[in-house]
Amino acid sequence: MDQTKFTLEEKEMPTSWYNILPDLPQPLPAVLHPGTGKSVTPDDLAPLFPMELIMQEFSPERYIEIPEELQAIYRTWRPTVLQRAYRLEKTLDTPAKIFFKYEGSSPAGSHKPNTAIAQAYYNKKEGIKRLTTETGAGQWGSALSLACMFFGLELKVYMVKVSYNQKPYRRIMMETWGATCVPSPSPDTKAGRDVLAENPESPGSLGLAISEAVEDAVGRDDSHYSLGSVLNHVLLHQTIIGLETKLQFEKAGLYPDIVVGCVGGGSNFGGMAIPFAKDKIDGTHKDLKIIAAEPESCPTMTKGLYAYDFGDVACMTPLMKMFTLGHNFMPPPVHAGGLRYHGMAPLNCHLLKLGLIEARAVPQMATFEAGVTFARSEGFISAPETNHAIRAGIDEALKCRETGEGKTILIAHSGHGHFDMAAYDAYLSNKLEDYQYPEDLVKKALDSLPQTPDQS
C-alpha cells in the first residue's frame, strides 16, 4: 500500500510562525509615507491596525509564537493534508513525484483564514469591537467573516458591486457567519456617496471598496481595518502552510526539488515559499527551485517595474517597493479574481530580486486545462487561482517526462473551486478565451507611478 496523505497530529502542528526578515541577506526596502517620503512609523499605522500586528510587520524575531487561543481555532481544520497525486502522475505519464498541500479544507475553503483569524484575534485583544474590509469576488470577505465570528467581532464588508450582484453565494456565506456585507459604492461613506452622486449605476472597483473600508475604520474609535494579503504580517501568518509542509516531507523522508504557488497579492505563495526560501539562504537546500505562477494578463512579477507604488488605486496606502504594473492598472476580467492585483507582496518581490525565487506567467486557458486535468485525476475541483499553480506544477512534471528525471514537485493548493463553477462552465463550453498582455494599459498605468527619492 502506497501512502497517499501525509498527515500531522494536532500536537505536531507548528506553534510559531516563521519571520524571514532577520534572515534576509539584504534588508527589505523601507515602506514610505507618501506625504513625507520618509519611512512609516508604527504610529502612522495605528489608526488602521492593532499594535501587535504592526510590530509583527517589522519584527526582528525569527519565530513568533502562535497564541494558544489561536492554535485552538487552527485545529478546527489544521494541520492540513499533504497529498501525493499518484493519479495525476499516471495521467501525465511522468516519473516526477507530485505532491499538493491542500488548504481547501478550511471552513471558508482557502488559506485565507490562516491570517484572518490571527488578525481578528489581535484586534480583539486590543479592545477593538469591529473590523471593516473590502472584498472582490468574496474569498477574503468570507474568511474574515469566519474569523470575526470566532472572536465575537462585528464585521462590515464592502463588496465590489458588480461581484455583489453576480456572485451572491460568497455574500451569503459572510451573512451566515454573521457579518454585514454591502455593495460598494455604498451610501455609508463619503467616498461611496461621491461616486454614487456622479453615477448611481457605478459597478464599483476594488480600489473604491478599499477607500470605503478605510474611511469607515478611521472614522470610528471601535473599529480597525483588515487586509488579506501583501503585508509582511499577512505572509507571516501564512507561513504555517510551509512549516507544516516541511514537517510532512520530513516524515515522508523527502524534500521537494521544485515548489510552485500562485501569486496575486502573494500571501498563499509567500506562506509556502518563505519557510523553504530559508533553506536556500542558509545553504541547506541551495538547488531548490521556487516558482511563482501569475496570470499572463496581469504579469506583475514577469513584466512589472520594481518601484515604489501605492497598494491601492485610491493612493491611500503607504508606498511599498514592489513589482508593479502601476496602481491605476485595471487587470482584464480573468476568472482568477484573487490574482487581479497590480502589485505584489514586497517580501515576495525582494525574494525575486535576490534570486531566491523565480516567476512565470501563464495564460488563462492553460490554467483551466490544468484544473480539469487535476479534477479528472485527483477528483478535487480547484479554484481558478489555484489552477495557476497546478499549471506550473504540471509543466514541470512534463519536463521530467522529457528528461526522465524523477523530481519531487510540490504544489501549493490554495483552495477549492466550489464557488467558481461558472468559470468551469465557460471553459468546458468553449466560451473562455485568453487575454493578450495589455501592454498599452500597463504603460499608461506605469506613467502614474509616484515620485519618491529612490524610484530607481
**Ranges within 77-96 binding a copy of itself (CB under 8 A):** 77, 83, 86-87
**Quick check: 150 binds a copy of itself (CB under 8 A)?**
yes
Which residue lies nearer to a copy of itself by CB, 61 or 425? 425
We find the least distance from the C-beta atom of residue 172 to a copy of itself, in angstroms, to be: 4
Total residues contacting a copy of itself (rule CB under 8 A)? 49
**Quick check: 105 binds a copy of itself (CB under 8 A)?**
yes
Q: Which stretch binds a copy of itself (CB under 8 A): 195-203, 297-305, 402-410, 420-428?
A: 420-428
**Quick check: 1 binds a copy of itself (CB under 8 A)?**
yes
**Quick check: 120 binds a copy of itself (CB under 8 A)?**
no
We find the least distance from the C-beta atom of residue 440 to a copy of itself, in angstroms, to be: 35
The contact mask relative to a copy of itself for 348-377 (x = CB under 8 A, - = no) is ------------------------x--xx-
Three-state SS string over the chain comes to CCCCEECCCHHHCCCEEECCHHHCCCCCCCCECCCCCCECCHHHHCCCCCHHHHHHHHCCCCEEECCHHHHHHHCCCCCCCEEECHHHHHHHCCCCEEEEEECCCCCCCECCHHHHHHHHHHHHHCCCCEEEEEECCCHHHHHHHHHHHHHCCEEEEEEEHHHHHHCHHHHHHHHHCCCEEEEECCCCCHHHHHHHHHCCCCCCCHHHHHHHHHHHHHCCCCEEECCCCCCHHHHHHHHHHHHHHHHHHHHHCCCCCEEEEECCCCHHHHHHHHHHHHHHHCCCCCCCEEEEEEECCCCHHHHCEEEEEECCCCCCCCEEEEEECCCCCCCCCCCCHHHCCCCCCHHHHHHHHCCCCEEEEECHHHHHHHHHHHHHHHCCCECHHHHHHHHHHHHHHHHHHHHCCCCEEEEEECEECCCCHHHHHHHHCCCCCCCCCCHHHHHHHHCCCCCCCCCC
Which residue lies nearer to a copy of itself by CB, 398 or 422? 422
**Quick check: 107 binds a copy of itself (CB under 8 A)?**
yes
Q: Which stretch binds a copy of itself (CB under 8 A): 48-56, 144-152, 181-189, 273-281?
A: 144-152
The contact mask relative to a copy of itself for 169-208 (x = CB under 8 A, - = no) is x--xx-xxxx------------------------------
We find the least distance from the C-beta atom of residue 394 to a copy of itself, in angstroms, to be: 17
**Quick check: 75 binds a copy of itself (CB under 8 A)?**
yes
Which residue lies nearer to a copy of itself by CB, 150 or 329? 150
**Quick check: 9 binds a copy of itself (CB under 8 A)?**
yes
Write out the residues near a copy of itself by the rule CB under 8 A: 1-5, 7, 9-11, 68, 71-72, 75-77, 83, 86-87, 105-109, 146, 149-150, 168-169, 172-173, 175-178, 372, 375-376, 378-381, 416, 418-419, 421-422, 424-425, 428
